[in-house]
A and B are shown apart, each in its own frame.
Chain A
């Protein structure tokens, strides 16, 4: 398959004008998940999560409009022990 064919196929799929065989091919490709054995450490995962969350926060500005409620004083004290 050439890049041009793929471009036409995906374009038709997005517009909902693709042939049933093309739809099936694209949907099968989307469903085909190789079992990824590559180990990713917890720190790496957290870094990625933090990066994306920061971008979401920056774009939606939800911490500004809906700030988190501050923990009551007794919870702060119990957290110390």
Chain B
């Protein structure tokens, strides 16, 4: 849970100065999603806890050698994926929790289950209604012909075209 609105990049800069509060802020922002991901993949809260703990210990220990364009989200994303595969491999090597791997992890590798990853995330109608209620006019704004990232109005474009024609 975040306690302030400081961007991650600034917190990483503060981490270089051994700022423990910045570290804890980063921790509270990213800890639970990481834990939840590991727990879903491994079905083991103890392993999930150990992975999250090791990732944050690694982040704290590497704080002085982080590159300039360091992205904490990308780092955590890469580390957690690596750690999950390592954990599965280690369990299989030690013949630990074989039953849970057979019943809960291996079915996840089936084609039917893997196809879910390729499908776009679909929001339920109630979620869409809620989002639309937060931003009135969003439904109409989503059309491609309304795509206007620069914010130039039609009137301004007409005026500019008229001026260009006049110059010709």
- Are both chains from one complex? yes
Chain A residues with CB under 8 Å of chain B are 1-3, 6-7, 10-11, 13-14, 25-36, 40, 42, 45-46, 48-49, 51-53, 55-56, 59-60, 62-63, 65-66, 68
Q: Judge whether A7 and B92 touch: CB under 8 Å.
A: yes
Q: Judge whether A45 and B60 touch: CB under 8 Å.
A: no
Query: Is B102 close to A, CB under 8 A?
Result: yes
Chain A residues near B9 (CB, 8 Å)? none
Q: Judge whether B32 and A7 touch: CB under 8 Å.
A: no
Q: Judge whether A10 and B89 touch: CB under 8 Å.
A: yes
Q: How far is the CA of A2 from the CA of B98 in the complex (A)?
A: 10
Secondary structure type dominating chain A contacts: helix
Q: How many A-B residue pairs have CB under 8 A?
A: 103
Chain B residues near A56 (CB, 8 Å)? 27, 53, 56-57, 60
Chain A residues near B32 (CB, 8 Å)? 45, 48-49
Query: Is B72 close to A, CB under 8 A?
Result: no
Can you offer 21 A-B residue contacts whose CB atoms are under 8 A?
A3-B101, A6-B88, A10-B85, A10-B88, A10-B92, A14-B89, A25-B109, A29-B108, A32-B114, A32-B116, A35-B121, A42-B1, A49-B32, A52-B31, A52-B35, A56-B57, A63-B20, A65-B18, A66-B18, A66-B19, A68-B21
Chain B residues near A66 (CB, 8 Å)? 18-20
Chain B residues near A46 (CB, 8 Å)? 1
